[in-house]
Amino acid sequence: MALERVTKDARQAETPCRLLVADDQPHILEAIRLLLKPEGYELEMTRTPALAVEAVTQGDYDGALIDLNYTRDTTSGHEGLELVDRMKELDPHLPIVVMTAWGNIDLAVEAMRRGASDFIQKPWENTRLLSVLRTQMELRRSQRRALWLEAENRILRAPGAPDFIASAPSMRPVVETMARIGPSDANVLITGEHGTGKEVVAQTLHRLSSRADRTLVAVNTGALPEGTFESELFGHVKGAFTDARTDRIGRFELASGGTLFLDEIANIPVRQQAKLLRVLEMGEMERVGSSKTQKVNVRMLSATNADLRAECEAGRFREDLLFRLNTVEISLPPLRERREDIPMLAGHFLARYAERYRRKIENFEPAAMQQMLQYPWPGNVRELDHTIERAVLMARHQHIEPADLGLHMQRSGSSSSAQNLDEMSLESVEAILIRKALARTNGNVSQTADALGLSRGALYRRIEKYGL
């Protein structure tokens, strides 16, 4: 993560400062251009307050240098003060340096009271103008870095590349497809049952791409309440709604230049699907509560356990959005169809948890391995992961025994489970009920949550907890 931040900061430092300049005098604009262009500034010149406001609405700037008078023979500064107010509404963090005539300090003070960062007097001293702009640009970028770091700490996962284990014949098409499309920017839809490793595939695709040194942002859309979905993905500005006390970066903005992974994509409400489609088609978005359009450049990876084509036919998923998401589709087989990978996967998880819990456990007894090879694994690789973690904690010897795995109860079926109900914990009973409900709905989380009387988020937490 530290390396990633340094890289990101270096990229920001290399990007030219974008400065918006507003003045109604052509010779003033030309003088500023001649002074600042050699300094590496990227300039946008405007001659009216209306054009300056339009520029801030449509573009992203590191600062603004504006005159306070735009009508001939007027020195009141009224137009310039209104321009400061409007710019601060559109971008509260934008540094604004105002230009005013000699001897009109009161006007400059009023502009700063309204939100301007500094002022210079005409005719200016080149050294002072350059110093003021440099200070404000550096402050702006340091504020942006602080905002990015806060967002990273809140959103991004811990560093460490995932281990992709796939030697079974049924996984060969998956590996071959990943090798071909990994280096591209193609949108990829990853399908498969719960726990098959869709997120690991997404992480691996990101590592194979030209964006590997950029950010990978993962979002479980199924766990996002509909009321906060738009804010989480697109961000919001202060005051956009009751609890919006500060500006917030959304997942799209954070992932710009990198990769965005949306898990459980089928659970996005239809009303929000149109907004997602627009970002994918146009590369444009606005934060909630803002009219300012921002450009974003993300590679989209998405995943689902649902049949999206059936969801489209049922009217629950937009067909045009599906076309945007699945430029390439990767379908992951369940663990029961790739049993050749079970020994390697189990060994990988054993090494991880033995080290984490400081247990000197070396391997599996043959009977334990045989049991794992025969077990149907309804929760797939995620269930195997949780099973090995539990076994490491429960093991009494240096080898994992069949009893340590705890698979007998799950394998025994519904009748045996019902007979031993008095001996089971509440969590075990709950896990069985959720597994049965998921089976009845063919893994549809929304329908399962309704049947169990749970919110979708609460059901997801239980699925993760029990390794389902």
pLDDT at 422: 52
**Pair 78, 92 in one domain:** yes
Whether 64 is in a domain gets the answer yes
> What residues contact residue 425 under an 8 Å CB cut-off, 6+ apart?
none
Whether 363 shows a pLDDT value over 70: the answer reads yes
Whether 417 shows a pLDDT value over 50: the answer reads no
Please list, residue by residue across 315-354, b when 16 or more beta carbons sit within 10 angstroms of its beta carbon and e when fewer do. ebbbeebbebbbebebebbbbebbeebbeebbebbbeebb
pLDDT at 401: 92
The DSSP bridge pattern shows strands 284-285 and 294-295 to be antiparallel
Q: Which residue's entry shows tokens 């697109």?
A: 234
pLDDT band for 208, please (50, 70, 90 cuts). Answer: confident
Whether 6 shows a pLDDT value over 60: the answer reads no
Cβ proximity of 266 and 311 under 8 Å = yes
**Pair 257, 304 in one domain:** yes
CA distances to 118, 211, 237, 253, 452 from 257, in Å: 32, 7, 22, 9, 41
Q: For the segment 57-93, what is each residue's pLDDT rounded down to a tens digit? A: 888 889 999 998 887 666 678 888 999 999 998 888 8
pLDDT band for 156, please (50, 70, 90 cuts). Answer: very low
Separation between Cα atoms, residue 375 and residue 280, nearest integer Å: 42
CA-wise closest residue to 60 among 98, 19, 14: 19
Q: Which residue's entry shows tokens 């937009």?
A: 318
pLDDT band for 153, please (50, 70, 90 cuts). Answer: low
* φ, ψ for residue 189, nearest 5 deg: -105, 125
Overall domain count for the chain: 3
Separation between Cα atoms, residue 208 and residue 212, nearest integer Å: 7
Higher pLDDT, 126 or 4: 126
Whether 140 is in a domain gets the answer yes
Side chain identity, residue 399: H
**Pair 70, 193 in one domain:** no
Please list, residue by residue across 186-223, b when 16 or more beta carbons sit within 10 angstroms of its beta carbon and e when fewer do. bbbbbbbbbbbbbbbbbbbbbebbebeebbbbbbbbbb
pLDDT at 139: 86
**Pair 148, 195 in one domain:** no
Cβ proximity of 175 and 332 under 8 Å = no
CA pseudo-torsion sign 160, 263, 332, 414: positive
**Pair 184, 253 in one domain:** yes
Residue after which a domain boundary falls, among 98, 119, 152: 152
Whether 158 is in a domain gets the answer no
| Domain, as residue range, for 321 | 169-333
**Which tokens hold the place of 59?**
């573009």
CA distances to 20, 205, 417, 428, 463 from 459, in Å: 50, 28, 22, 15, 6
Q: Which residue's entry shows tokens 């949306």?
A: 262
Q: Which residue's entry shows tokens 């019902």?
A: 418
Cβ proximity of 47 and 54 under 8 Å = no
**Pair 68, 199 in one domain:** no
* Average pLDDT, rounded, for the chain: 83
Whether 164 is in a domain gets the answer no
**Pair 104, 190 in one domain:** no
Please list, residue by residue across 387-418, b when 16 or more beta carbons sit within 10 angstroms of its beta carbon and e when fewer do. bbbebbeebeeeebbbbbbebeebeeeeeebe
Whether 84 is in a domain gets the answer yes
